[in-house]
Amino acid sequence: MGRYTSEALTAAFRGLGLNATALPPPDETILKIGRANTSCKECLPLILTTGSLLHYISGRSRGEVVVYFMPTSLGLPFRTVFCFHGRSRYAP
């Protein structure tokens, strides 16, 4: 998703009363976190998504519930990302 779509969905979720945040574009720190928590054999989007999610979670309080919204698309490997995150040690 692009910047404007992410911000629009964030605003829509906030309008529904949810505390929503659009994650910023990944940087070198996010890449390092993602590489540290994957085998580095996966695609770059999976590594960046993992790094972004773990970076965001690290700044939250322990009892807080976090829901990570990631849309699906045809032709993109989001099913792989979903399966990876579903099996990670951070999954409930």
Q: Which two tokens stand for residue 72?
A: 């699906």
Looking at the 3D structure of the chain, how many domains does it have? Answer: 1
43 within some domain: yes
Q: What mean pLDDT comes out for the span 12-23?
A: 90
91 within some domain: no
Residue 91 pLDDT class (50, 70, 90 cuts): very low
Instruction: Dump pLDDT digits (tens) for 20-73.
Output: 888 888 999 999 999 998 888 878 888 888 899 899 988 888 888 888 877 666
Distance CA(1)–CA(3), nearest Å, equals: 7
28 within some domain: yes
**CA torsion, points 38, 31, 62, 10, in degrees to nearest 10?**
-120
41 within some domain: yes
| Higher pLDDT, residue 82 or 17 | 17
1 within some domain: no
What domain range is 78 assigned to?
24-86
45 within some domain: yes
2 within some domain: no
pTM of the model: 0.70
